[in-house]
Chains A and B, each alone.
Chain A
Amino acid sequence: MALRLISRRFGSRILSYRSSSVASLHSHATSFGFQEVKEEDKSKLVGNVFTNVASSYDIMNDVMSGGLHRLWKERLVGKLSPFAGMKHLDVAGGTGDVAFRIFDAVNSVKHRALRKVDEESLEETQIYVCDINPNMLNVGKQRAAERGLRDNKSLVWVEGDAEALSFDDHSMDGYTIAFGIRNVTHIEKALSEAYRVLKRGGRFLCLELSHVDIPVFKDVYDLYSFKVIPNLGELIAGDRDSYQYLVESVRRFPPQEKFATMIADAGFEKVEYENLVGGVVAIHSAIKL
């Protein structure tokens, strides 16, 4: 696999572009928001952030996005078009938002009535929720219990690292990562892991906060991000720093086009992205062939 990466790098772009992109990737690996940190430390720091925010993660999402994050996740799952019998992996999906939606999409009575689904393929549906942070997973498991899905075999909660997944090659029909990839230290590793675990024809979908280019709106968004959100974090979650990290990390993440190129470099085909709310959020999608 290393050889494949190297040969790709040789053929893929002009040398100068290559060095600048390596520089910016390197910068993502060592950036913790606007601070510079050592690569080894980044994942620990991110871990601390999410340990702190786990319990109020969902409420804060609602407050910060005005409830819009639900629509974004609906759109993500809609794009995925889940089917019965699918093996799906939701990475960094700690509290289970996306996983629950996929589960509902496959198991809803309406879905089953409209389509001729046989019971046994319904049984085979497996949705793996992988997160590096056990606190987030616990919140997710609790929510599953509240919905009566505690013992449901379709939902599997796994602790793991996006850069080194414990799943087999060619084992997943779908891979989603919602608001998680910017917290990964090495994005290309996460992307190549995604490529590895997907089956042929499998889809990669990434929902992430992204860059806004629209003139006036951009300034409004910046104002909201840097003035309002950390204060909300302090007020509601009692943790200003974590939310400061959050808004800074969004700015350090590569823009839409750049990220699309990275996905294509990992080997994916038909790489597309869709901007929601003028670029505040972007859904990148791709297929492994």
Chain B
Amino acid sequence: MYRTAAKRLLGTGLTTTRLLRLPKPRPTLIIPYSSHTSESPISNQSLNPNQSNPTAASPPSTAREEEGHRRDESMRKPRAEFQEEQARVLAASLRHVARLGWTEEAMIAGSRDVGVSPSIVGSFSRKEAALVEYFMDECLQLLIDRVDSGLDLQNLIPSERVSKLVRIRLEMQIPYMSKWPQALSIQAHPVNVPTSFKQRAMLVDEIWHSVGDGASDLDWYVKRTVLGGVYSTTEIYMLTDDSPEYRDTWAFLDDRVKDAFDMKKSIQEAKYFAQDIGAGVGKSFQGLMNGVMQTMSRRGGSSAF
């Protein structure tokens, strides 16, 4: 249920959507006064020797159907090629980030590594943000892979599971830690906020999904907001942590997660208590006393969050 929710959140491919869905042909939008993307509407037979041979040989009578089919294929092929090329350039750029930061220079260096002219960097929308977003997507994909390939979560209580997953995710950022503040500031630009918000929402959703969360209704939102807060505060704490192997960060993380779970318990208790008060006011004083006794015994027995 949550993967589909995450798909809904992801929308129509704002980020490189390799993880949860394959690239789909984008419909050409007609927006007056502004930019219009026309992605080779009929067909684009660029560098595809394999395609051109069968097309030359096809008989003209069935030309129309086959043209349509071939048109679809060739529409998909060059676009996929372009996405792949972009992904390749971004992946190569990541290697330069530690030295050059999340900047165009890193992307130019990356494009030279791949053997493509650095002009391609000009075609990325919101250049540095594209690099940061690619990295965030990559990390999420890695996290999903790690969870799927049998991370041992069964023996842990939920709060420890959450801690472990957040820790795994944050450890992926360690190689870029010196430049991470720059990445955060890029993500905070108003232009980039929608995408970075979506990515974080997906991340948080994925973590709860892996923990085995079974909630629905209001709880779903509360849980994700709280975890989002825990994640962000830990991320920022990590920026200034210089303890060996980030021990202090993990301790901070454990404390925050415990607080979150405790808070949930206290909120529940407060809810029951308020219910009883309300009930008691409607009944007699005796009824009120009974209600209070019940609450106290329930609190003593509650262990789950």
B302 interface residue (CB < 8 Å to A): no
Whose C-beta in chain B lies nearest to the C-beta of A14? B67
Q: Tell me the minimal C-beta distance from A12 to chain B in angstroms.
A: 5
Asked if A81 contacts B104 (CB within 8 A), the reply is yes
- Among A138-146, A181-189, A231-239, A266-274, the stretch that binds chain B is A266-274
A68 interface residue (CB < 8 Å to B): no
B284 interface residue (CB < 8 Å to A): no
Asked if A203 contacts B43 (CB within 8 A), the reply is no
Whose C-beta in chain A lies nearest to the C-beta of B64? A14
B12 interface residue (CB < 8 Å to A): no
Q: A200-B115, A200-B117 are in contact. Are A11 and B63 (CB under 8 A)?
A: no
B70 interface residue (CB < 8 Å to A): yes
Which chain A residues border B60 with CB–CB below 8 Å?
15
Q: Tell me the minimal C-beta distance from A41 to chain B in angstroms.
A: 32
- Among B47-55, B151-159, B260-268, the stretch that binds chain A is B47-55
- Chain A, residues 5-46, CB within 8 Å of chain B (1/0): the string is 001101111110100000000000000000000000000000
Which chain B residues border A201 with CB–CB below 8 Å?
85, 111, 116-120
Asked if A273 contacts B38 (CB within 8 A), the reply is yes
Contact of A200 among B38, B39, B116 (CB under 8 A): B116
Q: Tell me the minimal C-beta distance from B179 to chain A in angstroms.
A: 13
Q: A12-B42, A201-B116 are in contact. Are A272 and B52 (CB under 8 A)?
A: no
Q: A115-B105, A201-B111, A269-B78 are in contact. Are A81 and B46 (CB under 8 A)?
A: no
Asked if B121 contacts A11 (CB within 8 A), the reply is no
Which chain B residues border A12 with CB–CB below 8 Å?
42-43, 45
- Chain B, residues 15-31, CB within 8 Å of chain A (1/0): the string is 00000000000000000
Q: Tell me the minimal C-beta distance from B93 to chain A in angstroms.
A: 13
Q: A214-B32, A272-B37 are in contact. Are A289 and B121 (CB under 8 A)?
A: no
Asked if A278 contacts B32 (CB within 8 A), the reply is yes
B3 interface residue (CB < 8 Å to A): no
Which chain A residues border B120 with CB–CB below 8 Å?
201-203, 287
Q: Which B61-107 residues have C-beta < 8 A from chain A? A: 63-64, 67, 70, 74, 78-79, 81-82, 85, 100, 103-105
Which chain A residues border B46 with CB–CB below 8 Å?
267-269, 289
A126 interface residue (CB < 8 Å to B): no
Asked if B52 contacts A79 (CB within 8 A), the reply is no
Which chain B residues border A80 with CB–CB below 8 Å?
119, 122
Which chain B residues border A200 with CB–CB below 8 Å?
115-117
- Rounded to whole angstroms, the CA-CA distance of A72 and B25 in the bound complex is 30
- Rounded to whole angstroms, the CA-CA distance of A273 and B30 in the bound complex is 11
Asked if A264 contacts B44 (CB within 8 A), the reply is yes
B209 interface residue (CB < 8 Å to A): no
Which chain B residues border A115 with CB–CB below 8 Å?
103-105
B229 interface residue (CB < 8 Å to A): no
- Rounded to whole angstroms, the CA-CA distance of A8 and B49 in the bound complex is 10
Interface band, chain B = 35 or more
Which chain A residues border B37 with CB–CB below 8 Å?
272
Which chain A residues border B70 with CB–CB below 8 Å?
11
Which chain B residues border A289 with CB–CB below 8 Å?
46-47, 78, 81-82, 85
Q: Tell me the minimal C-beta distance from B17 to chain A in angstroms.
A: 17
Whose C-beta in chain A lies nearest to the C-beta of B36? A273
Asked if A11 contacts B118 (CB within 8 A), the reply is no
Asked if B52 contacts A83 (CB within 8 A), the reply is no
Contact of A15 among B40, B63, B121, B122 (CB under 8 A): B63
Whose C-beta in chain B lies nearest to the C-beta of A272? B37
Q: Which A198-235 residues have C-beta < 8 A from chain B? A: 198-203, 214
Question: Which of B47, B81, B117 has the most chain A CB atoms inside 10 A of its CB?
Answer: B117
Which chain A residues border B35 with CB–CB below 8 Å?
272-275
A104 interface residue (CB < 8 Å to B): no
Which chain A residues border B36 with CB–CB below 8 Å?
256, 272-275
Contact of B119 among A13, A86, A214, A269 (CB under 8 A): A86
A261 interface residue (CB < 8 Å to B): yes
Q: Tell me the minimal C-beta distance from B298 to chain A in angstroms.
A: 62
Asked if B119 contacts A7 (CB within 8 A), the reply is no
Which chain B residues border A272 with CB–CB below 8 Å?
35-39
Extra 18 A-B pairs, beta carbons < 8 Å, given A14-B64, A17-B42, A173-B118: A7-B52, A11-B55, A14-B63, A80-B122, A83-B108, A83-B118, A83-B121, A115-B104, A202-B119, A203-B120, A260-B38, A261-B42, A268-B46, A271-B38, A273-B35, A275-B33, A289-B47, A289-B78
The 3 A-B pairs with the shortest beta carbon distances in the complex, nearest first, are A201-B116, A11-B55, A81-B122
Q: Which residues of chain B have a CB within 8 Å of any CB of chain A? A: 32-47, 51-52, 55-56, 60, 63-64, 67, 70, 74, 78-79, 81-82, 85, 100, 103-105, 108, 111, 115-123, 127
**Can you offer 20 A-B residue contacts whose CB atoms are under 8 A?**
A8-B52, A10-B52, A11-B51, A11-B67, A11-B74, A80-B122, A83-B104, A174-B119, A199-B116, A202-B120, A256-B36, A260-B38, A260-B41, A267-B47, A270-B82, A273-B35, A274-B34, A287-B82, A287-B119, A289-B78
